[in-house]
Amino acid sequence: MTPTTPLKITGARLIDGTGAEPVSDAVVLTDEQGDIAYAGPAADAPDTGLAYTVVDAAGRTVLPGFIDCHVHFGFENPRELGTRISADPTVETFRTAERLRRTLYAGVTTARDLGGLPSGYRKAVAEGLIEGPRVHTAVRIIGHTGGHADFTTPSGIDLSGGVGEIADTTDEVRKAVRRLLRDGADVIKLCATGGMGSPHDQPEDEGLTEEEIRAVVDEARRHGGRPVAAHAQGTAGILNAIRGGVTSIEHGYGLDSRARELARERGTFVVPTLSTVFDGIDKATMAPYHYEKKVRWSGITKENISAAIADGLRIAMGTDSGVCPHGRNLRELAHLVSLGMSPMDAIGAGTRVAAQLLGLDDRVGTLRAGKAADIVICDGDPLADISLLGDPAQVRCVIQQGVVRKNSLAL
């Protein structure tokens, strides 16, 4: 690991991501490896003897770097899927890199791409070739013919630009998992239902069968225990996915009382992607079928996700950026609060719980000694006004593994 200059953040209000009460006058110290050496009251800060670069965060709040568990860096809006086949791949590479940087600067230091991002971007970020969140990627999405991952036109052209991984039997889904793992997938994504943005189906349609979902989960287990994320919007498919053993339900718009009870029993994570409901409905930029579905399902979504929050399900932050705008990811926190989550729990959904979902909670998600120094400094107090975090201009400093990536404070 490349040594970094140790940082000393002073005068801050500290929200460490654990759910503990904020510390009003805190100090955060990082070490030469880019890890956290101390985070707590200024009066208890150790004298390490290191030469620090001091960051004055007086009047501001220090939090863990945020984790967006559901993004699509490969496009800016769903209609771009229809143009990917004719796009210049070099230009698209730079556009994707810009979206990664924009997301990092919004306060997201780790992100999980659930369809459309080759694993090479993970390596490019890790090697410092481009700036962006630490990347987990599904590479492509497993779905059946005519389902949510199938954007094939009547003339036989795949307009998804290779986002879909089509499989129609139990044996085929096992092979699909193997192909995705070969191509570097960190997580396997499958379609348990139809969707909003797909042209051939409805959100309440079922996707992969429960037997096929079990096969995906088993194949992922056999090859290193990769997590399985299920695109699941309608109730029947959500139930199939939970019974099939997936790690997370993505969207969960039809998460009724039966599904919520089953999710609680199994410990299944829910990633509600409320930004696609609150921020992602724009008739001018959406295909007519997409707009109609979103409007029809928006009320159902708010009712069921509000109930999921009240029931205490394991909710992790995800936005579906790409379907909704990139670089405004932390607006998702205000949407969670609007449906009944406390600001502290919303911050936890975007840090601690999201890290648990990605299997990274030993390294990120809370500001604890020994963990990676992924840190966000924002203006004001997000516990008093959670919407502060949703404005990238209020996110004044972003630190990733001890390296200052964005800064509008005096150092």
pLDDT value for 159? 72
Co-location of 382 and 266 in the same domain: no
Residue 167 lies in a domain: yes
CATH number of the structural domain spanning residue 391: 2.30.40.10
Co-location of 380 and 390 in the same domain: yes
Co-location of 204 and 322 in the same domain: yes
Co-location of 402 and 313 in the same domain: no
Co-location of 304 and 392 in the same domain: no
Q: Which residue from 276, 383, 256 is spatially nearest to 323, judged by alpha carbons?
A: 276
- Token couple for 161: 């630009």
Co-location of 46 and 76 in the same domain: no
Q: pTM of the full predicted structure?
A: 0.96
Co-location of 279 and 400 in the same domain: no
pLDDT value for 297? 83
Co-location of 334 and 400 in the same domain: no
Query: Over pLDDT 90: what percentage of the chain?
Result: 82
Residue 45 lies in a domain: yes
Residue 385 lies in a domain: yes
Q: Which distant-in-sequence residues (6+ apart) come within 8 Å of 147 by Cβ? A: 191, 194, 198, 200, 201, 205, 207
Between 284-293, 361-370, 381-390, the lowest mean confidence (pLDDT) is in 284-293
pLDDT value for 238? 98
Question: Residue 288, SS3?
Answer: helix
Co-location of 319 and 386 in the same domain: no
Higher pLDDT, 14 or 197: 14
Supply the DSSP string of 180-235, one letter for each residue: HHHTT-SSEEEESB--SS-SS--TTSB-S-HHHHHHHHHHHHHTT---EEEEE-SH
DSSP annotation of 366: S
Supply the DSSP string of 14-26, one letter for each residue: E--SSSPPPEEEE
Compute the distance between CA of residue 23 and CA of residue 381 in angstroms, rounded to an integer. 12
pLDDT value for 410? 66
**Mean pLDDT, the chain, as a whole number?**
94
pLDDT band for 286, please (50, 70, 90 cuts).
confident
pLDDT value for 253? 95
pLDDT (tens digit, 9 = 90+) per residue, 38-90?
999 999 999 888 899 999 999 999 999 999 999 999 998 776 666 667 789 89
pLDDT value for 48? 86
Would you say the C-alpha torsion 241, 247, 253, 256 has a positive or negative sign? Answer: positive
Co-location of 292 and 257 in the same domain: yes
Residue 1 lies in a domain: no
Residue 145 lies in a domain: yes
pLDDT value for 334? 98
Q: Do 231 and 116 contact (CB within 8 A), yes or no? A: no
Per-residue pLDDT at 1 exceeds 70: no
Token pair 């036989």 is found at 156
pLDDT (tens digit, 9 = 90+) per residue, 166-214?
999 999 999 999 999 999 999 999 999 998 877 778 899 999 999 999 9
pLDDT value for 8? 97
Co-location of 315 and 400 in the same domain: no
Domain span at 273: 66-358
Q: Do 65 and 109 contact (CB within 8 A), yes or no? A: yes
Q: Do 317 and 332 contact (CB within 8 A), yes or no? A: yes
Co-location of 306 and 176 in the same domain: yes
Residue 2 lies in a domain: no
pLDDT value for 228? 98
- Token couple for 153: 């036109």
Compute the distance between CA of residue 111 and CA of residue 211 in angstroms, rounded to an integer. 30
Q: Which whole number is the average pLDDT over 378-395?
A: 97
Would you say the C-alpha torsion 351, 311, 220, 99 has a positive or negative sign? Answer: negative
Instruction: Phi first, then psi: give them for residue 302, nearest 5 degrees.
Output: -60, -40
> How many CB atoms sit inside 10 A of residue 246's CB?
28
What's the structural domain count of the chain? 2
Helices 257-266 and 288-310: crossing angle, nearest 10°?
60
Query: Over pLDDT 70: what percentage of the chain?
Result: 97
CATH number of the structural domain spanning residue 110: 3.20.20.140
Residue 301 lies in a domain: yes
